[in-house]
């Protein structure tokens, strides 16, 4: 009885399934980061208001920077997976199925990127990301700075936090342009 092996096509389809599963998991994780950020922001603001301690707002910038950076990294990996499927995996599978019919593999991977409203959606998403991860912690810093009675160490810490938020903002914009 002849031995049955795994074909290249089967291996490529298994790889496709694997990277799409990773992409799906990253999308869910990334999208939940916005909700987590909103919950943390609400909790910190409520605690600071209830305790009448504006210095508690200094917790927002590092939390938002960590969550925002995690969001950016996952978003970049999601995009990289899509590019890999479209530019590498798809053409390799299409070559195996070459029958002269002009068959295109994984058409969705390319077609959704050509959507006429994609640019406006990306702009709105950029605004949401910058607001959630950068504008909110900067607003918290402005409120902190407007208060009297914070020490030199807290002032220095707040400036370092502002620099970190600005750095994150530049990365959010940079990755949004690349996608």
Q: What integer pLDDT is reported at residue 3 of this predicted model?
A: 62
pLDDT above 80 (res 52): yes
Helices within the chain (DSSP H only): 8-51, 60-84, 90-96, 107-111, 118-130, 136-146, 152-178
36-53 average pLDDT score: 96
Q: What integer pLDDT is reported at residue 93 of this predicted model?
A: 86
159-168 average pLDDT score: 98
Q: What integer pLDDT is reported at residue 100 of this predicted model?
A: 58
What pTM was estimated for this model as a whole? Answer: 0.87
Domain boundaries, the chain: 8-178
Residues 94, 104 contacting (CB under 8 angstroms): yes
At 146-158, the pLDDT tens digits run 987 788 999 999 9
pLDDT above 90 (res 95): no
């Amino acid at each position: 009885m002849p031995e049955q092996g795994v074909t290249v096509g089967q291996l490529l389809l298994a790889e496709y399934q694997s990277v799409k599963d990773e992409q799906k998991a990253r999308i869910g994780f990334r999208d939940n980061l916005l909700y987590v950020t909103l919950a943390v922001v609400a909790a910190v603001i409520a605690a600071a208001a209830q305790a009448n301690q504006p210095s508690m707002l200094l917790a927002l910038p590092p939390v938002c920077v960590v969550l925002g950076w995690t969001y950016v990294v996952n978003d970049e990996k999601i995009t990289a997976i899509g590019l890999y499927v479209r530019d590498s995996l798809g053409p390799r599978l299409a070559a195996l199925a070459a029958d002269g019919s002009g068959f295109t593999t994984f058409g969705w991977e390319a077609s959704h990127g050509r959507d006429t409203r994609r640019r406006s959606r990306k702009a709105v998403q950029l605004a949401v990301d910058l607001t959630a991860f950068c504008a909110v912690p900067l607003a918290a810093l402005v409120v902190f700075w407007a208060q009297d009675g914070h020490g030199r160490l807290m002032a220095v810490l707040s400036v370092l936090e502002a620099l970190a938020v600005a750095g994150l903002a530049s990365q959010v914009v940079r990755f949004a342009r690349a996608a």
